Amino acid sequence: MDPETRVALVKEVGEEIVTEEELRALLAAKAHPIAYDGFEPSGTAHIAQGVMRAINVNKMTRAGFRFKMFVADWHAWANNKMGGDLEKIQTTGKYLIEIWRATGMDLSKVDFAAASEAYREASGAASGELRAQARIGQARTLALSGKKQEADAMYRQILAETADPQTKELIEIKLAQAE
């Protein structure tokens, strides 16, 4: 594909091109530059998320780009989407990928990376411990915003769910301070 056609395809998709000259230089220097996007799996797909994303990703990959798609499952969990159930959130992420497959996205040129997996690998901590620590942060925020009963309920929920002795001790201290 000639360089001008590649530039035109990218311009159809992205408004965040710093300059066309920079884009042309990137395409001249790299046959397969990397484009990034991400999504928070938090429910059923709408037209823009399902069909339009597939069309736009395909334009980028036809222009020679490889695509890295960030699955913000951890963020959906932190935002208490799907009732804060990480398994449901991850299932929803897989569902969205299947929608893109069904709408014709060329998945052979797209790499998906889940936030939960990246965080687990980076920290070396077990997923449950990371979730408990994030929930403690949410409970602190609730307490600081004057929502003491909600914070206490969240602390008790974390206490019931965690097996980590240090996390349990921290929560017991927080609950004792609240009384």
Written as six digits, the tokens of 7 are 């530039």
> Residue 56: is its pLDDT beyond 90?
yes
Distance CA 4, CA 15 (A): 17
Q: List the domain boundaries for the chain.
A: 3-115, 127-178
Closest CA to 80 of 120, 146, 135, 126: 135
DSSP 8-state assignment for residue 51 = I
Looking at CATH, the fold of the domain delimited by 3-115 is given as Rossmann fold (3.40.50)
**pLDDT by residue (tens digit) across 74-132?**
888 877 788 888 899 999 999 999 999 999 999 999 999 998 887 666 665 555 666 67
User: pLDDT-based confidence at 179, cuts 50/70/90?
Assistant: low
Written as six digits, the tokens of 55 are 């069309």
Of residues 146 and 123, more confidence is placed in: 146
Asked if 63 and 14 count as a contact pair (C-beta separation under 8 A), the reply is no
One of 1.25.40, 1.20.58, 1.20.950, 1.10.357 is the CATH number of 127-178, namely: 1.20.58
pLDDT at 93: 94
Mean pLDDT of 52-77: 93
Of residues 138 and 20, more confidence is placed in: 20
Parallel, antiparallel, or unpaired for β 110-114 and 66-71?
Answer: parallel
Share of the chain above pLDDT 70, in %: 89
Written as six digits, the tokens of 69 are 């798609």
Q: Is 84 helix (H, G, I), strand (E, B) or coil?
A: helix
Distance CA 156, CA 101 (A): 41
- The sign of the torsion formed by the CA atoms of 96, 97, 101, 103 equals positive
